[in-house]
Amino acid sequence: MQLKKSTKLFTLPLIILSLAVTGCASTNQEKGAAIGAIAGAVLGKSTSNHKNKRVVWGAAIGAIAGAAVGNYMDKQEQEFRDELSGSGIEVVREGDNLRLIMPANITFATGQAYITSGFYETLDAIARVLNKYEKTLLSIEGHTDSQGSAEFNQNLSEQRAGSVKQYLTNQDIIASRLKTIGYGESRGVADNATANGRALNRRVEIQIIPNQA
């Protein structure tokens, strides 16, 4: 009896993976995403293949057909510009991707990773657009200036990116759409020798990437 249970437990992941491989050509987008999520969970850390990583990141969301990507992102860009006008958030178009640049001076207290209450309304506006345009993947990226130790800045950048992710998931953004990364002081966009330059370097960016079919 014990042998039969062990056999079932061992063969179940293999059956799931087999279905994921053989059925992907005939399933619709939703079924394919579900199978991808299961396969990714079974594979775990057994592979570093980039394609498998993409299956896990955003596996639960739909995809956009190639020809429709530009129009989809055009509409989303305009809604972000309308919602965020006057907020201090910069909306940047990069090919078919969007980038929201959020200066730390209007999102976080100095040296802290908690979001200031005055910024909730703006993040709510961002979440409204993201919930409307669900076929996108979001990379939340934290950056700092060079003041303080490199280790402190690295940790702070990661924590700030994590705070933004947590806030967005609390606004019903599907967690599988989101990933976070902290760059510390390594990707400054201005001169850290000046106060203005340091202010520009202290920021969180959200890169918005269409999930293409």
What is the Cα–Cα distance from 107 to 103, expressed in whole angstroms? 7
The count of structural domains within the chain is 2
What is the Cα–Cα distance from 119 to 208, expressed in whole angstroms?
20
CATH number of domain containing 80: 3.30.1330.60
24 plus 109 within the same structural domain: no
**Residues spanned by the domain of 25:** 2-56
pTM for the whole thing? 0.72
Residues 104 and 185 in one domain: yes
According to DSSP, residue 119 is labeled G
Q: Say if 61 falls within a structural domain.
A: no
Per residue in 154-163, pLDDT (tens digit) is 999 999 999 9
pLDDT digits (tens, 9 = 90+) for 4-45: 444 444 344 443 434 444 444 444 444 333 433 333 333 333
Q: Note whether 17 and 46 are within 8 A (CB).
A: no
Confidence category of residue 56, pLDDT binned at 50, 70, 90: low
pLDDT of residue 30: 42
CA torsion 23-133-108-194 (nearest 10°) is: 100
